[in-house]
Structure 1
Amino acid sequence: MNIVIPQASQFVSLALTMVLCGCIGLEREYHGKNAGIRTNILVGLGSWLFSLSSVLGYEAVRASGMNWDGSRIAAQIVSGIGFIGAGVIFYNKSRVRGLTTAAGIWVSAAIGMGAAFNLQILVLLVTFCYFLTVLLVAPLAYRALRRFHVSVLQIAYENGKGSLRNALLQLSAAGFDAQVMSSRQIERNSWSGAVVGVKVNGSISPETMDAIMQIDGIRGISIDDEAET
């Protein structure tokens, strides 16, 4: 049995895979996403080893005259990684969440493959483009386009805690010009309050929605999809 001794370049590509995929996972984990450092590193390592195995397998069987199509292994990574990515995508009340995290896992797999094939410059460039997209391009595009959307938030709050005022202040801090459009009283077994419709010119980010939900006395918040254009 022939034992393949790893070369120095393979150690370098392995370390590069761990560092770059770890950086992508760190960014996702910093933003509170489920697929963080461990997931992205493991995806990168698996892709690296599968890709390298496809190359080494060809070298191992070439002398024996056997047929070997090393591209089949690498090709299955591209389609197979989608099963992991699909596990972090959630659909809730017309909102799809987790697409960026799933795409990040896909990029980590590509980085592992590229590093295994000694495309170090390209994987560094792709990692740079990833961070350029998620940290600069996407926020700028969001700020530029949100002014063309009109959304109506339905905010349920408990009386006597200043919740509505704090929610409006939170929207103002996020850069929205909020306007109360409607209000109706509600009574529950343990509390009483109201539901107000708040019109904002812009698309509300999940982070802003989560921040409002953390306000004391806020009982629920949703977006009126029919009012969103």
Structure 2
Amino acid sequence: MASEMELVGRLVMSAALGSLIGFERERLSWAAGLRTHMLVCVGSSLMMIVSIYGFTDTLGDHVTLDPSRVAAQVVSGIGFLGAGAILARGQVIRGLTTAASVWSVAGIGLAVGGGLYTPSIAATLIILLILAGVKPLEKRFIAYHRRRHVTIKVKRGKLTLGSFNQALGVSANRVKQFIVQPGEDEEYDEVYVVFSRMSLQEYVLIRKKFNDLPGIESYSEMDSDEEIDPYSW
């Protein structure tokens, strides 16, 4: 069995590795930030330590234990935190990356708790590279052709899917989702539109046609590449 000081060191290491990933999420103001990632990492590490060493006194000729039993429960049970990170974003399904990072941090904690120091450090560096390093490349090379999410404020009852498609003309086939929601102002509706993946030039041409929409007050683009969830309103 590992010494008590080594076990404490594993918990401290879990907190440190979790904080690195949590800081990256914190700086982007996501719901699951620094403290959440640290707690998940330390907690899962502690559970792994308990799973491995917590029941050694009960072992005997007729008693055997599976040290992976708690780890399996952590992997499946951490999903509730991921769901909270996703649903907290309101009108748009967002936070999938943060949910994935929380789930990954739990894996790091289990690895540290099991004494797998090198894989846990390597996993931390890889996850940081994915979260912070890949995003600029994604914006530069992938987001050029991406879905466009637009919120349109119009006079109540003035804009329908038919009139919207008519205003867009041949570009109407780019409409992937069209959802109308009553706005906070009783005189206006909020229309959420998702366009299929397209280049910026194509989107600019479509956006010029918004001015021809009946009863339009304003419109804005949301920075997201995920589906609108009509059931989250």
Q: Same fold (TM over 0.5)?
A: yes
Residues 152 and 89 of structure 1: CA distance in aligned 2, closer, same or farther (over 3 Å): closer
Contact 2:145 / 2:200 at 8 angstroms: preserved in 1?
Answer: no
Q: Deviations over 1:163-187 (max 9, x none)?
A: xxxxxxxxxxxx955342231474x
SS of corresponding position for 2:139: helix
SS of corresponding position for 2:73: helix
SS of corresponding position for 1:103: helix
Q: CA deviation at 1:139?
A: 2.8
Contact 1:86 / 1:102 at 8 angstroms: preserved in 2?
Answer: yes
Residues 12 and 144 of structure 1: CA distance in aligned 2, closer, same or farther (over 3 Å): same
Q: CA deviation at 1:65?
A: 3.5
Identity of aligned residues (%): 31
1:70 alignment counterpart: 67
Contact 1:50 / 1:74 at 8 angstroms: preserved in 2?
Answer: yes
Residues 47 and 151 of structure 1: CA distance in aligned 2, closer, same or farther (over 3 Å): closer
1:145 is the counterpart of 2:142: yes
SS of corresponding position for 2:109: helix
1:205 alignment counterpart: 223
Q: Which amino acid aligns with 1:129?
A: I
Contact 2:148 / 2:224 at 8 angstroms: preserved in 1?
Answer: no
Of the structure 1 ranges 9-18 and 177-186, higher mean CA displacement relative to structure 2 is found in 177-186
Match of 1:47 among 38, 44, 48: 44
Name structure 1 gaps, 5 residues minimum: 158-174, 187-192, 199-203, 208-222, 224-229
Contact 1:29 / 1:36 at 8 angstroms: preserved in 2?
Answer: yes
Contact 1:153 / 1:197 at 8 angstroms: preserved in 2?
Answer: yes
2:217 alignment counterpart: 194
Q: Which has the higher contact order (CA 8 A, sep 6+)?
A: 2
Q: Deviations over 1:80-139 (max 9, x none)?
A: 00111111113765x420111111111111111100111111111111111111112233
1:123 alignment counterpart: 120
Residues 70 and 149 of structure 1: CA distance in aligned 2, closer, same or farther (over 3 Å): closer
Contact 2:149 / 2:224 at 8 angstroms: preserved in 1?
Answer: no
Within-5 A mapping of 1:1-229:
6-63=3-60, 65-90=62-87, 95-149=92-146, 151=148, 153-156=150-153, 178-179=204-205, 180-183=208-211, 184=213, 186=215, 194-195=217-218, 205-206=223-224
SS of corresponding position for 2:54: helix
TM-score, normalization: structure 2?
Answer: 0.64
